Every structure is written in structure tokens, then in C-alpha cells.
Amino acid sequence: MQPEIVFDGAARLLVVLHAMAAIVLVGASTHHALIAFGYLRGRYKVRLGRIYAATVAVAYGITFVLGLLAYPSFRYHVRGLYLDRHEVWASNLFDTKENFAALGLPLVIAAFVMSRAMQPKEDRGLARAYAAFVILAAVIVWFDVISGLAITMARGV
């Protein structure tokens, strides 16, 4: 007998919404990283940096929450019944992906706060720290998206 799983009936919709939010997130985090890299080169598009910082923060939060809501169903149906038995590498990659996602959350929040508080022309040291947070967050997002696709293909192919 199958256990009662929270949000099980909405799992497919949650995963589709999670993927859609991740698409926005990967685009926004990439553009944000390009703006932050510009800060290191003396190109200050502060307004765009603030817009992307806000977009990344919102998209990251939505993606994170939708993933949390979809997880119980994934844990039982996909991971428990398939990945842990037949594709252990994908199960382990999922753990790594989720740990990186959790580490990225404070980076995104810090970048958002810093984008509002600093003037990159005057605060060069702060601008470098900001750029490091933003670029590292973008790397995490790209790793998570590529890992998520690989994990999905392990179950789907």
C-alpha cells in the first residue's frame, strides 16, 4: 500500500513550475553575473545590477520553495523507488545539487542587500565581494540546472 504523500496530486504541476522558475533564474543569474563582472572592470550599471539582484532573489526563492513542495512526491516515487535502486549516481548528484542550492540562498540574499546598500564606484572592496557572491551564485544555479536535467534524464531515458 502506498503511503499518503503531501502534495502528491500536484507533484507534476509543481515540478513544471519549478522548471519554469529555474529557467527565469538561470537567465537572471547569468545576466546578474555579467553586470557584477562589469563592476570588476570599472563598468557600473548599478540600476541593472539592482534589477537583476531583485529578480534573482525572487526567482531563487520561488524555485527553492517549489522544489521543497515537490520533494515529498519525488522522494517516494522517483528517488525511493527508482534512483536509490538503479541510478545511485543520480541520487547522490541530487544530494549534492540540493546542498549547493542551500548554500546559494544566503549568497543571493547577501547580493540583494548589497545591491541596495553599496555604490560600486566608491565601495571597490564591497563591489568585489558583491561580484564574488553574484558569480558564485550563478555558478551554483548553472550546476543545479544541469544536474537537475541529468537526474531527470536518468529517470526518463
* pLDDT over 70 at 40, yes or no: yes
C-alpha cell read off for 118: 553599496
Which element (helix H / strand E) includes 86?
helix 84-86
The answer as to whether 147 is a domain residue is no
Other C-beta atoms lying within 10 Å of the C-beta of residue 85: 10
* pLDDT over 70 at 157, yes or no: no
* pLDDT over 60 at 65, yes or no: yes
* Residue 54 belongs to domain spanning: 11-138
Count of domains observed in the chain: 1
The answer as to whether 42 is a domain residue is yes
Q: What percent of the chain has pLDDT over 70?
A: 97
Task: Pick the range with the lowest mean pLDDT from 3-7, 15-19, 87-91, 142-146.
Answer: 3-7
The answer as to whether 157 is a domain residue is no
Mean pLDDT to the nearest integer, 139-153: 96
The answer as to whether 107 is a domain residue is yes
The answer as to whether 145 is a domain residue is no
Q: Taking CA 156 as the corner, what is the angle to CA 152 and CA 93, rounded to the nearest 5 degrees?
A: 30
Alpha-carbon distance of 61 to 137, in angstroms, equals 13
Alpha-carbon distance of 106 to 95, in angstroms, equals 18
* Mean pLDDT, the chain, integer: 95
Alpha-carbon distance of 9 to 50, in angstroms, equals 38
Other C-beta atoms lying within 10 Å of the C-beta of residue 154: 18
For the segment 3-25, what is each residue's pLDDT rounded down to a tens digit? Answer: 799 989 999 999 999 999 999 99
Instruction: Give 79-82's long-range contacts (Cβ < 8 A, gap of 24+).
Output: 82/155
* pLDDT over 50 at 83, yes or no: yes
